[in-house]
Structure 1
Amino acid sequence: MNNESSSNSSQTDWRRLDTMSDEDIDFSDCPEVTPEMFANAVVRKGLPVVEKKTQVILRIDSDVLDWFKSQGQSYQAQINALLRAYMEANQ
């Protein structure tokens, strides 16, 4: 695989970007993320390789479990990935 750029020069004004502060960034065309949007999000992050899993008994609402099961055989890994993302976002 060739890792060379398909273009010889960047059209990005890197100096201008380097001098920008967070307040200079225009987010007017970006919608605010709502709880509903988060609830409909799909985790596409690769699953981390973990040496050991711990089996637990966890009470989950039936409709929640049914929905995860309807997503495919890896529903337990999906639940784990969502819990990990939540943990990492709140550390």
Structure 2
Amino acid sequence: MTDDDIDTSDIPPLTDEFFSKAKLRMPSSPIATVSVPVDSETLKWFQSKGEDAEQHMTAALKIYAAAQQTSAAMRQSA
């Protein structure tokens, strides 16, 4: 399935009002400090999004890990 195959017609558009009320919620779990090599293009992209680059990278890794867990669970149940 590709993105074009997904029917999004029932999803209302996100308005300026929505974004004015939106808040970034970061996980409250304990954080471990690690050193991970990141290619310069990826690091520059995160840094271009603002001073919270490290927090955004942490959130992206958490989302990726959760998706991998979901994918593994789906493969096991198939």
Q: TM-score range by the shorter chain?
A: 0.5 to 0.7
Q: Distance in 2 between matches of 1:46 and 1:87?
A: 17
What TM-score, normalized to structure 1?
0.48
Which among 35, 38, 46 is matched to residue 57 of structure 1?
A: 35
Query: Does 2:53 correspond to 1:75?
Result: yes
CA distance in structure 2 between the aligned counterparts of 1:74 and 1:60, rounded to whole angstroms: 16
Q: What 5-or-longer segments of structure 2 have no aligned partner?
A: 7-22, 70-78
Structure 1 unmatched runs, 5+ = 1-29, 34-43
Structure 2 CA distance for aligned equivalents of residues 79 and 62 of structure 1: 14
Shift of 1:46: 2.4
- The size of the alignment, in residue pairs, is 51
- What is the percentage of aligned positions where both structures have the same residue? 27
Q: Distance in 2 between matches of 1:68 and 1:88?
A: 20
TM-score, normalising length: structure 2: 0.55
Task: Let me know the Cα RMSD of the aligned residues.
Answer: 2.2
Which structure has the higher relative contact order (CA within 8 Å, separation 6+)? 1
Larger Rg: 1
- Higher helix residue share: 2
Alpha-carbon deviations, 1:27-66, whole Å to 9, x = none? xxx7237xxxxxxxxxx8621112x211111101011101
